[in-house]
Amino acid sequence: MQDSSFVQLFPEQASTFAWQVDALYGYLILVSLVFSVPIIFAMFYFSIKYREREKYAVPKEIHGSMVLETLWSVIPFFVSMSVFITGAIVYFNQYTPPDDAMEIYVVGKQWMWKFQHQTGQREINDLHVPVGRNVKLVMTTEDVIHSVYIPAFRTKADAVPGRYTYAWFNATKPGKYHLFCTEYCGLNHSGMIGTVYVMEPGDFDNWLSGNSGGETPVQVGKDLFENKLGCASCHAGGPQQRGAKLEGLFNTEVHLVGGGTAIADEDYIRNSILNPASQVVEGYQPIMPTFKGQVTEEQLNGLVAYIKSLSPNAAAAPAPAPAAKKPEEKAPAANKATK
């Protein structure tokens, strides 16, 4: 997989945007060299040329030059703008998951990574993904901030307690790749590592069907919703309905009591379960109890997945997501990834 005879400055490139990150990095190094090398040479040259102190004790007066002033303002302006614009393009590519991506839940915990596929398979510290498909990581954590870093994919994003963050990639080469935690998270931070297995799509399907995963996140959520937590007693339709209607809710705009609106995305649903009083939808009473402390991160993921599944058209559909909503649903994901 890796050419060991070659001194490796960069990790191997194994995702669709890896070359963009490296190209930008190379460009930054080039710009730094173009400026620093002549300066170093000029330092040596002048210190030799002007080494006779008496002769140069009183320097010649220098008068302003409009041409020079203009040049050394305009050239750095364009250089810095080129860094900014290419950096922004690469950043948006890296942190805007495509709509058709397959979603994998990631839960960080001191000190392990827990993954769950939409089909129910769970993995710890190992992540199996198919080559050539868009994979979106929906990440959160049970305790402190962790950060997923897969060098070969050139992707890195924090997992933050209490909310969802996202990362995505499209792996280009089958193989085994390192996964690191890159946010200091306590004693065994350095041991919070994992392996990403990129497989041919056929092998991946076999792997997926060979590992009977038990309940899918949607089934976990449905069970909690209908039985264990009793959400359905208020949220199911009919004369008993006291809570908001959840069918078709995902990714739509909701109007909140006290003015203001919100997009019903993953974070909104999560927050509605944990802090229901913080965003009551117009037309409903603030009667929903909090479920903070009663559900684990995995159960929350299941509830979110179930509520998403009630909106078959809005959730991660390839095309039909209304164009007007896209910037709102994407901007937060991009912002979160910065920190």
Binding site for ligand CUA (CB under 6 A): 108, 111, 146, 181, 183-185, 189, 192
Output 142 or 223, the one with its CB closest to ligand CUA.
142
Output 114 or 222, the one with its CB closest to ligand CUA.
114
Output 139 or 288, the one with its CB closest to ligand CUA.
139
Please, what is the minimum distance in Å from the beta carbon of residue 128 to ligand CUA? 21
Output 265 or 297, the one with its CB closest to ligand CUA.
297
Output 209 or 296, the one with its CB closest to ligand CUA.
296
Please, what is the minimum distance in Å from the beta carbon of residue 126 to ligand CUA? 16
Please, what is the minimum distance in Å from the beta carbon of residue 159 to ligand CUA? 8
Output 152 or 181, the one with its CB closest to ligand CUA.
181
Please, what is the minimum distance in Å from the beta carbon of residue 190 to ligand CUA? 8
Please, what is the minimum distance in Å from the beta carbon of residue 184 to ligand CUA? 6
Please, what is the minimum distance in Å from the beta carbon of residue 203 to ligand CUA? 29
Nearest by Cα to 218 from 306, 294, 156, 137: 306
